[in-house]
Amino acid sequence: MSLGRGVLLVIVAAAIVFASFVVTGALAVGYAFGGFAIVAAAAFAAMRTGNEHARLTPPLAVSERTNDPLLAIVGGLPDPVIALDRDWRVLALNEPARALAPALRQGEPVSLALRMPELIEAVGRAFARAEEQRIEYSERVPIDRWFQAVVMPVRRMPDDTMPDLVLLTFRDLTPLRRVEEMRADFVANASHELRTPLAAVSGFIETLQGSARDDPKARERFLAIMQQQASRMARLIDDLLSLSRIELNAHRRPDKPVDLVPIVRQVADGLQTLARDRGVTVNIEAPGAQTVLGDRDELVRLFENLVENALKYGTAGKRVDIKLAGVRAEEGEHQVEISVRDYGPGIAPEHLPRLTERFYRVNVRESRDQGGTGLGLALVKHILNRHRGRLSIESTPGAGATFRVYLPTVEPAVVQ
Ligand code: ADP
């Protein structure tokens, strides 16, 4: 029962008792009224003291009531938020905070659940100085994660001199850090890839200006190597520019209908010389037209990379099979599947998930010897993302590799 209702009951009971004294003649009206007034005044005084007590008691533990505004506000915030009282006990926390630190309990000291010395020190400083504190910290287990925590002291009463609670809010910096790391890695890799041929070219220029100045045979040989290195740099720059162009347009879905069959045939024709040099036969199996909404140049680039890789890395198999077939995806959408299969040495399973990373190569030396940049499959992945397609790679070491591309078609494809 609430204090207010209890007081009312006492007053009503006193009124009935004193009225019955008057009715039965046990007390004179004046005395009865005086007695009733004293009881009522005492009851009101008790109620005020009770209210005062409730107001002054520091909020040590969290109220379970849902109409607690602090709980309601904290519960409605999207980022992890924890409110602590002056004794560093958890007053309120929301679901994201529970996910961040499952050991947190309302009413319990935060230091039991958050074993983060920097954070605990920041809470101490926030209370002592009544100033906002910001810290960044990382977790190593189970995976690397980075957070920013803001500890904000709050005075709930206008005349309080010191904060009576602090609010801890957390921001997950992990995606931001990953992107920063990737960008730094990318720039380092790209510079490294360019520096190697550049160093070779500079070295040969020096030799040609010095010891080989009057040696026509050496000059011929060095110029040929310099040309090779220069075209390697040109290929690299070309691939880097293509990557950034595709990324720039990633959000714009291509809208021109293009038939993939002539594109694949054009790619195979373009690579005929390479295939002949390597003694590899290219077979194409295609049903009727397979129309997708696409960017023609990007699609040519995509299949060029896949077929060229099959010819370069699968030379030993002497055969490359390209097959186009209409398939029906699970959602009932029509798709075309284009598979490029070689019968070369294949790829060990541990490399498969990383092949589309920029500059990832199973064997760097082999890739360089083949004129590779390590960006071909990264380009394939980006082109497919833009075209809402996907890539799957299957390989049995020793028995070749199959790269399968799936793209949504605009007309019902021939389902085989
Ligand atoms: P690269 O310019 O080195 O060819 P890619 O991104 O096209 O770069 O390919 C990445 C790596 O994947 C290659 O260096 C090679 O090790 C491997 N690879 C790609 N295609 C095949 C294939 N058909 N058979 C075996 N290995 C392949």
pTM of the model: 0.65
Q: Which protein residue's CA is at the shortest distance from atom 10 of ligand 1?
A: 361
d(CA 39, CA 23): 19
> What string of pLDDT tens digits covers the 416 residues of the chain?
444 555 566 566 667 666 666 666 666 666 666 666 666 665 655 555 444 444 444 333 344 455 788 888 999 999 999 999 999 999 999 999 999 889 999 999 988 788 788 999 999 999 999 999 999 998 887 788 899 999 999 998 888 788 989 999 999 999 999 889 888 988 999 999 999 899 999 999 999 999 888 999 999 999 999 999 999 999 999 999 999 999 888 889 999 999 999 999 999 999 999 999 999 999 999 988 999 999 999 999 999 999 999 999 999 999 999 999 999 877 778 999 999 999 999 999 999 999 999 999 999 999 988 889 999 999 999 999 999 999 999 999 999 999 999 999 997 544 44
Whether cis (ω within 30° of 0) applies to the bond prior to 142 is yes
| Angle, helix 3-23 to helix 29-56, in steps of 10 degrees | 170
Residue 335 · residue 329 · CB < 8 Å: yes
Distance 301 CA to ligand 1 centre (A): 15
Q: Is the CB of 133 under 6 A from ligand 1?
A: no
Answer yes or no: is the C-beta of 377 below 6 A from any ligand 1 atom: yes
Helix (H, G, I), strand (E, B) or coil at 293: strand
Residue 357 neighbours by CB distance under 10 Å: 16
Q: What is the CA radius of gyration of the chain?
A: 38
SS3 70: helix
Distance CA 246, CA 305 (A): 15
Ligand 1 mean position to 403 CA, how many Å?
Answer: 11
Hunting for tokens 């004193």 — which residue is that?
Answer: 18
Nearest to 397 by CA among 354, 361, 352: 352
Does 355 sit in the ligand 1 pocket, CB within 6 Å? yes
What beta strand segments (E) does 106-164 contain?
133-139, 145-154
Is 80 near ligand 1, meaning CB less than 6 Å away?
no
For a substitution probing ligand 1, which of 302, 313, 358 has the most ligand atoms within 8 Å of its CB? 313
Beta-ladder partners of 92? 83
